[in-house]
Structure 1
Amino acid sequence: MSSAILVVDDDDAHRSMLKTMLRSWGFAVEEAADGDEAVALVRERAFDAVLTDVRMARMDGIHALKAMLEYNPALPVVLMTAFSSVETAVDALRLGAYDYLVKPLDFDLLRETLEQCIERSRHSVENRELRRQLTEAAGSQEIIGRSDALKRMLGFIETVAPTEATVLVTGESGTGKELVARALHAASARADKPLVTVNCAALAETLLESELFGHEKGAFTGADRRREGRFVQANGGTLFLDEIGEMPLQLQAKLLRALQQGEIQRVGSDTPITVDVRVIAATNRDLRQEVQAKRFREDLYFRLNVISLEVPPLRRRGEDIPLLAAYFLQRFAERNRKSIKGFSPQALDSLLRYPWPGNVRELENAVERAVILCNGDLVTGAELPDDIAHAAPPEEGPAQQEALSLAGMALELVERRAIEDTMRQTGDNKSEAARRLGITRATLHNKLRKYGLEQE
C-alpha cells in the first residue's frame, strides 16, 4: 500500500509539480491549498506524512503544524520555505516538525527525507501507547503527576522521542533530567540499544576524555590495556551527557567533532572510529550565559540545542506534590518494612506550602527521612525537616489551591481521588486515563480493583 502524503501549498503550480513528482516516486498524494484545509484533512483521514509550505496567505505552515500535531503528535511534518531562517527552522523543530527544507527544493533530499520520516514513523510505537512506554522505562521511578506543566513536558517528549534530534534537557537541580533522558531513549527507535550515562562533572579532564572516547594501552600512566569509551559502548543507542556545562573547553572541541562527523579517536590513537550515537545532554546552567562568558563553545551549544526541553521545577507543579509524596512514601515504607498509611493533614499541608528549592530530589529525601523517623500510622510534621514543617504559604495560583484542597486526605484517598477524576474526564477510557496519570494500563487496572472502581 502506497504511503499517503498531504501536500500543502497555496502556490497552485508548485503544489501541482510536487504532486506529480511524489506520485512518480510511488506516493499517494492529497492536496490542500492552505493550512486550514490541511488541518481539516488531517482530522478526517490518516496520512503517513505532511509536506507543507511555511508562507501561505491564510493559515501559515507554523500554525498548521501546531494544530496538526495537537491532533496527532506522531504525525511527521516536513516544512518547506523560500525564506531560509535559522530562527524559523529552530522554532519549527521545537514545535515538533520532523525536518525543514529550503526552496528551491533538492528533490533527492526531499525524497530521502520523506522516506526516512515515514519509515521511522512506522517503526515507532503508536501514539496511544507512547506514554505507557515512557512510564515503564522509568522503572521504579515513574514520571508521576497530572499538572499542566508535566503534561506539556510529556507531550513534548512524545513528539521528540521518535526523532534522531540531539536534545538539550535544561532545568534546576533535582527536577529529574536523567529521568527525562531515560524516557526519551525508551520511546525512541533506539530503545533496544544501550543508554549510557556520563556525568561530566564527576571526572577530571584527562579522565573524562578517556571515559568518553576510550584509550590505547600505554596512552598515559596507568593505561595498562586498551579501553573502549562510552561512545563505543553506546553505539547504536543513546549517550546521556549529564552536567554538560561542566565539560572543559578543550574537550568540548573533541565532542563537537564527534557530533558533527560521527567519529571519535581513542586517547593515544590516530585512527578514527565511526559511531552511531544519539546524544542527549543536560545542564542546570544557562549555557547562553556560559557562551558569553567564554566558558562554553558557541558552536557546540548550537549543535546540542537542536531541541531544548525544560523540566519544570516542583514549585510550578504544586498539583503533583501529593501524588509524588504518596509514591515516595509507599516506596520507602516498603523498603524499611514499615506500615504507614499516609500523611497527617498538617504534614501534607506543610509539603504543599514549602517552595521546594531542591525540587523532586528534595521531596524524595524529605519523605525518606520522615518514613525512617515515623513510628505511627501517619507521617506528621514532627518527622519532617523544620524548614518544611514550618514553611510559610506561598502565593496561591489555581494549581496550588487545588493541591491545598487535597491536604486533609490520607494517602490512599489522594490516589483514589486522582484516579476517579481522571476516569471521569476520559469517559472511563483506561488507556487515556493511564496516559494522563503517568502510569501503565496494567497498574491502573490493579488500582481500580484495589479501590473497588472496576466496572463489570
Structure 2
Amino acid sequence: MSDKILIIDDEPGIRSSLRGILEDEGFNVQAVASGEEGLALIKRENFDVILLDIWLEGLDGLEVLKKLKEEEEKAQVIMITGHGSVETAVRAIKQGAYDFLEKPLSLEKVVVTVKNALHQKKLEEENLILRSKFRNKYQKLVGESPVIKELKKKIAKAAASKASVVIYGESGTGKELVARLIHQQSSRKNKKFIHINLAAIPEHLLPRELFGYIKGAFPEAASDKKGKVLLANGGTLFLDEIGEINPLLQIKLLHLLEKGIIEPEGSLEPIPVDVRIIATSQVNLAPLVRAKRFRDDLFFKINVLPIVIPPLRERKEDIPLLIDYYLDYFSLELGKKKKTMTSAAKKAFLNYSWPGNISELINVIERFVIMVPEDEIRPEHLSLLVEPRELQLTPQNNHILSLKEAILHFEKEYIHRRLMTNGWEVKRTAQELKVTPQELKEKIRSLGIRIAD
C-alpha cells in the first residue's frame, strides 16, 4: 500500500505541480484548497504526510497545525512558506511541524523532504512498537509442548494470509497475544493494531465506537469522531469477544467485510477502508449460528482461519519455562534482583489446575517478584499469596458475618493454606485433613479455591 500525502494549498498551480511530482514517485496524493477542507478530510482518512501552506484564506496554516496537534494527528506536517516568512515557519516547527519548504519550490527538495518525513514517521511508529513490546507482558509465546509448536505454525500461516481470523480459547489463555503475533508477523506489521473489547462497551454505543460519527449526528456529537475501524485503516482491527454483538452490529460488520466501506453515524458518504479483522471468542461460534444468535454469512466471512488456544492445564510441560521466563521478565521490569524458583516450588505449580490459565500464572509470578525478599522462591513462600485474601475477608466497619459465612470463609482459607504449604499435592493435603482426595477436589471446586486468592 503506497504512502498517503495530503496537500493543503490555495494556489491551484502549486497543488497541481506538487501532486504531479509526488504521484510520479508512487505516492497516493490528495489536494485541497483550504484548511477547513483539509481538516474535514483528515477526520475521514488517515494520511502519512501533510504539505500545509502557511498563508491560507480562512484558517491559516498555523491554526490548522494547532488543531492537528490538539487532535493528536500522527501525520508528519511540512509547512510551505513564501519569502520573508521563514520566522513563521520556524515557529511552526517549534509547534510540532516536521520541516518547511520555501517558495519557489524545488521539486527535487520536495521529494527529498517528503521521503525524510516518511522515514521519521516510520521511526516514531517503530519506537512505539518497541516500547509497547517491552511493556506488554504477552509479547512472546513461551513453550515447547506439541500443542504450542502447532500453535506457532498456525500463527505463521495466518500471518502470511490476508484472511479474517477467529481465535478461540478460555479466559486468560492469551488470545490477544496470538492476535498481536499474527499482526507483527504480517505485511501490516508497521501499521496500527487497534483493539476493542466488544463485551465491555454498552450495546447502543458500539456502532459509534466502531464506525464513528459526524458532528451533529446526535445531540451530544459536538465534533466528528473517527471510529476504531478508520483508526485501523491499513492495519489490523482486533475484535475481542465477537460472539457478544447484536444482530444489527453483525449486519454492519458483514457490510464492512463484503464491501470494504463504512458509514459513520450521520454521514451520507461511505468511506473506503482496508482492515484485516482478527476476532476472539471464548465459545464456539458454530452453535450460536445454529441457534440463530450469530449470522451464518458473517460466520463464514470471519471464521476463515479459526485458531484454538489450549488451556494451560493441557500443556503443563510448559509451566517451568513460563516460570523462568516471567521471573526474568518481572525482575528486569521492576528493577529487582533476578530470582529463581526451587524444583519443589515448581512442582506445586505443576500440581495446580490454573483455572485462570496463563494470565493467572503471570499474575502470581509478578506478585512473587514483588513480595519475596529472598533470591530463591521456595514452597513456604506460596503461603504469602493467601494473606491479601485473608485481609479481604476480615470483617470491616463492625460488619458481623453470619455463622454460615464465617464457617465458609474459614474453611476456604484453611484448605487454601494447607494446599499452598503442601505444594498443591491434593493426596497429601487430603491425608492431613482426614478426607478422601475426591472429597477435597470437590471442596476446591465448590469453594472456588485458586492459587492467587
TM-score, length of structure 2 as denominator length: 0.54
For 2:300 and 2:165, how far apart are their aligned partners in 1?
Answer: 11
For 1:303 and 1:383, how far apart are their aligned partners in 2?
Answer: 50
Q: Which has the larger radius of gyration?
A: 2
Q: 2:245 aligns with which of 244, 247, 258?
A: 247
Q: How does 1:125-164 map to 2 (within 5 A)?
A: 139=134, 141-164=139-162
For 2:280 and 2:326, how far apart are their aligned partners in 1?
Answer: 24
Aligned to 1:110: none
SS at match of 1:282: strand
Q: 2:424 aligns with which of 391, 403, 414?
A: 391
Q: How does 1:52-451 map to 2 (within 5 A)?
A: 139=134, 141-384=139-382, 385=385, 387=416, 389=420, 390-392=423-425
Pairwise CA distance, 1:261: 1.0
Aligned residues, how many? 261
For 1:373 and 1:223, how far apart are their aligned partners in 2?
Answer: 48
Pairwise CA distance, 1:392: 3.6
Cα deviation digits, residues 378-435 of structure 1 (max 9, x gap) = 11233334657342469xxxxxxxxxxxxxxxxxxxxxxxxxxxxxxxxxxxxxxxxx
Q: Give the letter for the 1:148 counterpart.
A: P
For 1:383 and 1:207, how far apart are their aligned partners in 2?
Answer: 46
Contact 2:237 2:277 in 1 (8 A): yes
Contact 1:138 1:182 in 2 (8 A): no
Cα deviation digits, residues 87-120 of structure 1 (max 9, x gap) = xxxxxxxxxxxxxxxxxxxxxxxxxxxxxxxxxx
Structure 2 unaligned runs (5+)? 1-129, 387-415, 428-453
For 1:168 and 1:285, how far apart are their aligned partners in 2?
Answer: 11
Q: Give the letter for the 2:342 counterpart.
A: S
More off after superposition, 293-302 vs 357-366: 293-302
Pairwise CA distance, 1:361: 0.1
**CA 1:324–1:136: 2 relative to 1, 3 Å:** farther
For 1:297 and 1:136, how far apart are their aligned partners in 2?
Answer: 39
**CA 1:217–1:382: 2 relative to 1, 3 Å:** farther
SS at match of 1:144: coil
Q: Give the letter for the 1:158 counterpart.
A: A
SS at match of 1:152: helix
For 2:280 and 2:380, how far apart are their aligned partners in 1?
Answer: 36
SS at match of 1:253: helix
Pairwise CA distance, 1:345: 2.3
Pairwise CA distance, 1:259: 0.8
For 2:213 and 2:274, how far apart are their aligned partners in 1?
Answer: 19
Structure 1 unaligned runs (5+)? 1-134, 395-456
Contact 2:215 2:224 in 1 (8 A): yes
For 2:156 and 2:251, how far apart are their aligned partners in 1?
Answer: 31
SS at match of 2:346: helix
Q: Give the letter for the 1:303 counterpart.
A: K
For 1:170 and 1:224, how far apart are their aligned partners in 2?
Answer: 39
For 2:365 and 2:246, how far apart are their aligned partners in 1?
Answer: 36
For 2:131 and 2:318, how far apart are their aligned partners in 1?
Answer: 19
For 1:278 and 1:325, how far apart are their aligned partners in 2?
Answer: 34
- Alignment RMSD (CA, Å): 2.3
SS at match of 1:222: coil
**CA 1:245–1:230: 2 relative to 1, 3 Å:** same
Pairwise CA distance, 1:271: 1.6
Q: Give the letter for the 1:379 counterpart.
A: I
SS at match of 2:320: helix
Pairwise CA distance, 1:340: 4.3
Contact 2:233 2:274 in 1 (8 A): yes
Pairwise CA distance, 1:145: 1.2
Contact 1:340 1:378 in 2 (8 A): no
SS at match of 2:237: strand
Contact 1:137 1:186 in 2 (8 A): no
Pairwise CA distance, 1:346: 2.0
Give the fraction of aligned pairs with identical amino acids, expressed as a percent: 44
For 2:369 and 2:204, how far apart are their aligned partners in 1?
Answer: 42
Aligned to 2:30: none
SS at match of 1:228: coil
**CA 1:333–1:137: 2 relative to 1, 3 Å:** closer
For 1:192 and 1:240, how far apart are their aligned partners in 2?
Answer: 15
Pairwise CA distance, 1:365: 0.8
Contact 1:138 1:183 in 2 (8 A): no
For 1:188 and 1:171, how far apart are their aligned partners in 2?
Answer: 22
Aligned to 2:100: none
Contact 1:219 1:267 in 2 (8 A): yes
For 2:351 and 2:209, how far apart are their aligned partners in 1?
Answer: 43
SS at match of 2:306: strand
For 1:376 and 1:192, how far apart are their aligned partners in 2?
Answer: 42
For 1:230 and 1:346, how far apart are their aligned partners in 2?
Answer: 47
Pairwise CA distance, 1:146: 1.0
**CA 1:330–1:272: 2 relative to 1, 3 Å:** same
Cα deviation digits, residues 177-215 of structure 1 (max 9, x gap) = 111111111111111211111111111123211111010
For 1:156 and 1:267, how far apart are their aligned partners in 2?
Answer: 37
For 1:262 and 1:363, how far apart are their aligned partners in 2?
Answer: 40
For 2:426 and 2:219, how far apart are their aligned partners in 1?
Answer: 57
TM-score, length of structure 1 as denominator length: 0.54
Q: Give the letter for the 2:283 counterpart.
A: R
Pairwise CA distance, 1:160: 2.0
Contact 2:341 2:377 in 1 (8 A): yes
Pairwise CA distance, 1:292: 3.0
Q: Give the letter for the 2:142 counterpart.
A: I
Contact 1:173 1:284 in 2 (8 A): yes
Pairwise CA distance, 1:333: 2.5
SS at match of 1:215: coil
Contact 1:137 1:182 in 2 (8 A): no
Pairwise CA distance, 1:374: 0.6
Contact 1:340 1:376 in 2 (8 A): no
**CA 1:138–1:310: 2 relative to 1, 3 Å:** farther
